Chain A
């Protein structure tokens, strides 16, 4: 059997010839990994998870966009004229209704941001409030979260009306490729937004079920960023359907 004579000096073990002590702050930069994570660590972890989720949703819509662009540019063989023709066709979208929906979604993004800040404030003040005899005066709590849920449902209802209006104008999923994509993109967005709504309802239930205020804050925070992303995504879809007709 062959033998091996190591050449690494005793004080040079560890990658990169670092001394055998943990680097300052540790591999997790002092995030408390391995132990009981504090509230800040849990929030950061949830946000990191959200970033991954957003990357995934982006990949879904990038795929659909590339399919949109490719399909739009494809000539179609027409058996009647025995030639290649363009079958993309224009969809008469209910722009006014969609603009109202956009406004509703943007306003909901504002209200959820206020809900996020309120939840953060509530979580930060919770330890102080628990001290017997300490009062911070009358805190006015506006139900921003509830308002966001309402606006979210309002947006979905508006989208429902828009799909109905498209039907009234004679456009169905299979009418032509452009109508297929109009339905596909808006419905896929609505499905993702519904996920956000469910998370908001969950956040609302945390106060009803008397769960810890930190848990509520984390859900609200992560959902708020997701909601903002849904707003940006909707504007992107709106622009795609509007400018790349």
Chain B
């Protein structure tokens, strides 16, 4: 049984209880943030190795030496898995959701603090296990982040498919359990711990996004967990859930009758909502930041909420669009296609509302705002190729090409990362009590934005030209070899963009200790986290229970003394 929020109202003493096994949602949020930061550098390093190998296939690289095709597949698998689970799922929800959600709803902590701590440490164990896959006999698995059987289900299928693959599946299963515990906590907290006056329609859109993400997680991770258990059984107990009659190296294995498609259905039933688990918090942060720095109420608050709810709802009905190439009834494909394109409607509503929020606003171009605008830009650029891929006839042509790589990196990769950056620059003052350097923040933004487009836009053209994805090198295929110059351009852009991330890290750590002291409300924002001290006390509001009187985005209120009204402002008259 988890300790209820009120039980530990006194700040814990001692290093271990305060910083390691802390029950404080703020410490846990920061722990998640640094775990994701570590993971993203591992993921970036792997992508860098892949990019370098692609244009210099014979070069021996530091740490890894010569990269064989199977090594390349291991790098690809681990890059995808680490980025999707331990960065894009961990940072926005576990990191910022944990830190900010309870404060934004006026709660002293999450509903179940012990469970919260357990979710973090379970995630940590999952991360350790997946990293361990690099160091076991045979190395990391090579079945891609989607883990399609029979490759992932047969131990003898490749060098990384032994213990490495077992570690991979166990890590994902543990991550599922951690995410389920987190989702349970987020939902209960949002529903039950809101301060007086904080109605659902007064919640900041960030809280809505974390809440909907948690619902998606609650429904999706259980499915992946079940699928993973079946995969483990196929691998280790000789069952045939996924594995049909297969012959490996001339040897007939004992499996019979399993269906690889069964895994694909279960995996993508989780996998598509997972895309929204990664991007929805970014949408929430973009809404929050765009409104704050445009000094205008968010355009169409209710429409934003309903759009996120419908994106979440439709997210569970479109998994089949990942499987057009796997073979399915044309009628099913048609249904999945129409439903997928339908997601364009709420997405367009959101984009329109973001632009409407900025329209004629008194825009303040601080770094968080730049990243929020960058998020909208990437969301549109990456999203527009979605309706192309949603059509089976086009997807069959484009599916195994770089077009898809460009598409999903823009929309769920870097768009979500831009959401994380916006959140970092926006909440850093509250989290660490100091301001980040603006100049370096802007330099970081412009290099990252330009670099991102330089990396992922050309991939669309490569895909249309027929360049296949997952190939470790293209020198042996004449028509593919002609495209290598563009791949070289992408690699150079990637090296520059990755190098620019050190600007961010240095800025982050330097500002943590040397940045100018932040005031309680440096951005002149309205939500509850800016009403408390910086950084917030252990129980968030220093023993005071906030009472909410307004919606979250009251900017430019006529007659008010300032151009914003805090959510907790008891009487508008007092602001005159």
Residues of B whose CB lies within 8 Å of any CB of A are 1-2, 4-6, 9, 105-108, 111-112, 115, 180, 183-185, 187-188, 191-202, 218-223, 225-227, 229-230, 233, 237-241, 244-245, 252, 254, 256-259, 262, 265-266, 269, 294-297, 301-302, 359-363, 541, 545-551, 554-560, 565, 569, 571-572
Contacts and interface: CB of A to CB of B under 8 A. Distances in A.
Contact of B198 (A1, A28, A44, A52): A28
16 contacts: A2-B361, A5-B556, A13-B551, A14-B554, A15-B199, A15-B202, A26-B197, A26-B547, A27-B196, A28-B192, A34-B545, A35-B545, A46-B4, A52-B187, A60-B223, A180-B233
Contacts of A70: 259, 262, 265
Contacts of A30: 196
Given A4-B295, A22-B549, A48-B188, A15 B6 contact: no
A180 B223 contact: no
A13 B557 contact: yes
Contact of B546 (A34, A46, A188, A218): A34
Centre residue among B199, B262, B360 by max chain A CB count within 10 A: B199
Contact of B262 (A3, A15, A71): A71
Contact of A1 (B191, B194, B362, B546): B362
A34 B196 contact: yes
A40 to B, nearest CB: 12
Contacts of B6: 35-37
Contacts, number: 230
B237 A174 contact: yes
A229 B239 CA distance: 29
Give the secondary structure class of B's interface.
Answer: loop
B188 A49 contact: yes
Nearest to A184: B233
Nearest to B294: A4
Given A2-B359, A56-B183, A59-B218, 10 more contacts: A15-B202, A22-B196, A27-B105, A33-B192, A34-B107, A35-B545, A37-B4, A71-B257, A76-B245, A219-B1
A22 B180 CA distance: 33
A13 B554 contact: yes
Interface string A1-30: 111111111110111100011110111101
B240 A180 contact: yes
Given A14-B551, A27-B198, A70-B259, A52 B239 contact: no
A74 B106 contact: no
B154 to A, nearest CB: 14
Contacts of B569: 20
Interface residues of A, number: 70
Contacts of A134: none
B244 A15 contact: no
B219 A55 contact: yes
A15 B222 contact: no
B225 A60 contact: yes
Interface in A36-70: 36-37, 41-42, 44-46, 48-49, 52-53, 55-60, 62-64, 66-67, 70
Shortest 4 CB-CB distances between A and B: which pairs? A22-B197, A26-B196, A76-B257, A27-B198
